[in-house]
Amino acid sequence: MRELVVLGTASQVPTRHRNHNGYLLRWDGEGILFDPGEGTQRQMLRAGVAASDITRICVTHFHGDHSLGLPGVIQRISLDRVPHPVTAHFPAGGAHFFARLRRATSFYDHADIREAPITADGPITTTDPNATTSPNATTGPNNTTSSNTTNSPNNTTSPNNTTSPNNTTSPNTTTGPNSPSTTKSPTSPTGPTIEARRLHHSVETYGYRLVEPDGRRMLADRLARHGIAGPRVGELIERGHLDVDGRRVRLDEVSAPRPGQKFAFIMDTGLCDNVFALAEGVDMLVIESTFLSEDAEMAALVGHLTAAQAARVASESRVRRLVLTHFSQRYDDPARFVAEAREHYDGDLVIAEDLMRVPVPPRRQIASEQWQSRSDPRPSGT
């Protein structure tokens, strides 16, 4: 299952209808909790999210609406004696805040929280359990060692967008290397690589991007045409080629590319290069839209985005599904965010609401006719 469970959608001030931030991304066997604000533990209960569902915590920055839920979440992980380690990523410059929140009160600490502060742009980890941690992730001193979709009435959908406005840059942002992706075998990729990039805000802030490596999809008709079945399919996948009746059959002759899925999470920031780098080509983008354009000057002053800016990012970056969230309490009509975003983006649009579940869009498919036109020599004798 790959879906986003929305726990909270407010910005600095929660409302009667919007809790502070909190988002759990279910990605196969992973449960990545982003920016647990105040009240996250209770929202998890309401949304049917168990503490044991969390395998990783990603904090963008240490403002209260993005981190005050950490004490309750961590203490619940401890209380429930979650058996697996939970890795915590956060800006290294805020490590002292994490330490305070990690042990905000006295409790029986059974949680295996593995701190991995972010020190620079670039890949921070892969979710492949057999992989090693990226050099950009360091270990904190407090570590221990041990080994359904619902739709909102405000949501709208439409075909993918094709417009591409100009990029906007900020001199205060650095750009890191491209996220690498590796595979165990041509058809069985590892878990996604997680990349962090510095954003433009009043405190050290990072956005996150998940990239699943591309794989391959076996084509049953072509396998049958070459007489390849059973264990020999596995041998072909492992070796990349197979000798059949005196002829070498390559993997790419009997399979098609299977594009990996991508996800990005961007909270408090002004427009900058790294916003676009994180969003580029993702299947789903969760992005703050604190303000409407009528308050654009204030948004720029405090390092936030308007709904129009977030929509332009999605449009230029070829985002398939755009999830707007982190709304200022000054606005009480979600339809205004829809209207403003629609002026710039005509892809799938979601105006996030508390306790909503948003699926990651189905995997992109390569049209079969693109592969039928490729050279596909028949086995000799046919």
Listed ranges 48-57, 231-240, 253-262; the one with the highest mean pLDDT: 48-57
Please say if the pLDDT value at position 285 is more than 80: yes
Question: Given pLDDT bands bounded at 50, 70 and 90, which one contains residue 309?
Answer: very high
Cβ contact 128:191 at 8 Å: yes
Residue 208: which of 60, 313, 312 has the closest Cα? 60
Contacts of 177 (CB under 8 A, 6+ apart): 121, 122, 123
Please give the model's pTM, rounded to 2 decimal places: 0.79
Please tell me the predicted confidence (pLDDT) of residue 31.
98
Please tell me the predicted confidence (pLDDT) of residue 363.
87
Catalytic residue among 28, 53, 65, 221: 65
Question: Given pLDDT bands bounded at 50, 70 and 90, which one contains residue 126?
Answer: low
Please say if the pLDDT value at position 179 is more than 70: no
DSSP letter for each residue of 239-292:
HSEEEETTEEEEGGGSEEEEPPPEEEEE-S-BS-HHHHHHHTT-SEEEEE--B-
Domains in the chain, ordered, with CATH? 2-215+258-359 (3.60.15.10), 216-254+366-372 (no CATH)
Question: Given pLDDT bands bounded at 50, 70 and 90, which one contains residue 190?
Answer: low
Lowest-confidence region among 35-49, 79-93, 174-188: 174-188
Average pLDDT (265-270) is: 99
Specify binding-site residues for Zn(2+): 61, 63, 65-66, 201, 268, 326
Tell me how far apart the alpha carbons of residues 62 and 100 are, in angstroms, rounded to a whole number.
Answer: 11
Q: Higher-confidence residue: 125 or 124?
A: 124
Token look-up 């079945």 returns 229
Cβ contact 339:311 at 8 Å: no
Average pLDDT (305-329) is: 99
Please tell me the predicted confidence (pLDDT) of residue 366.
65
Residue 194: which of 27, 53, 347, 365 has the closest Cα? 27
Collapse the DSSP code of 146 into the 3-class scheme (helix H, G, I; strand E, B; otherwise coil) and give the result: coil
Please tell me the predicted confidence (pLDDT) of residue 95.
98
Work out the mean pLDDT of the chain and round it to a whole number.
85
Q: Higher-confidence residue: 23 or 159?
A: 23
What are 127-176's pLDDT values in tens digits? 654 443 443 444 333 443 333 333 343 444 333 333 333 333 333 333 33
Average pLDDT (172-184) is: 33
Please say if the pLDDT value at position 7 is more than 50: yes
As beta bridge partners, residue 122 has 196
Please say if the pLDDT value at position 182 is more than 50: no
Look up 65 and say whether it is catalytic. yes
Contacts of 102 (CB under 8 A, 6+ apart): 70, 71, 74, 113, 142
Token look-up 């002026």 returns 343
Average pLDDT (222-246) is: 92
Please say if the pLDDT value at position 287 is more than 90: yes
Listed ranges 171-175, 200-204, 237-241; the one with the highest mean pLDDT: 200-204
Specify binding-site residues: 61, 63, 65-66, 201, 268, 326
Please tell me the predicted confidence (pLDDT) of residue 370.
53
Residue 257: which of 295, 307, 305, 218 has the closest Cα? 218
CA 12 to chain centre: 22
Alpha-carbon distance values, 358 to 37, 57, 171, 367, 370 (Å): 19, 19, 34, 26, 31
As beta bridge partners, residue 171 has none
Please tell me the predicted confidence (pLDDT) of residue 365.
72
Tell me how far apart the alpha carbons of residues 382 and 378 are, in angstroms, rounded to a whole number.
Answer: 6
Cβ contact 348:356 at 8 Å: no
